[in-house]
């Protein structure tokens, strides 16, 4: 489960507030067991050191074909992870 905030009531409502805190807590407790990366067909518009992406390897090939890449610490190159 991930947390998405709900519309805040116009007036203070203790029950709503308590329930919302519980939902936030669940968002921290329940974490995914896998991560799905969206296949990218072009370089991301904003590149940052430490980014992890999945390149299609044809329309966007950062150097090693299709696969998962990370941006190096110097933010100078994509490194193929596999």
User: Residue 78: its pLDDT value, please?
Assistant: 96
Residue 53 burial by Cβ neighbours in a 10 Å radius (0-12, 13-18, 19+): buried
Contact, 49 vs 24, CB < 8 A? no
Q: Which two tokens stand for residue 41?
A: 């067909």
Separation CA 47–CA 64 (nearest Å): 18
Dump pLDDT digits (tens) for 19-41.
999 988 887 776 767 778 999 99
Q: Which H/E stretch holds residue 40? A: strand 39-40
User: Which residues of the chain are under the pLDDT cut of 70?
Assistant: 1, 30, 32
Spatial separation of the C-alpha atoms in residues 73 and 42, rounded to whole Å? 21
């Amino acid at each position: 489960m991930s947390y998405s905030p709900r519309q805040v009531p116009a007036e203070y409502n203790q029950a709503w507030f308590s329930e919302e805190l519980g939902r936030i807590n669940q968002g921290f407790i329940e974490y995914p067991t896998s991560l799905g990366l969206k296949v990218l067909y072009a370089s991301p518009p904003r590149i940052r050191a430490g980014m992890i992406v999945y390149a299609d390897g044809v329309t966007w090939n950062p150097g090693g074909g299709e696969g998962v890449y990370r941006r190096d610490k110097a933010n100078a190159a994509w490194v193929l992870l596999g």
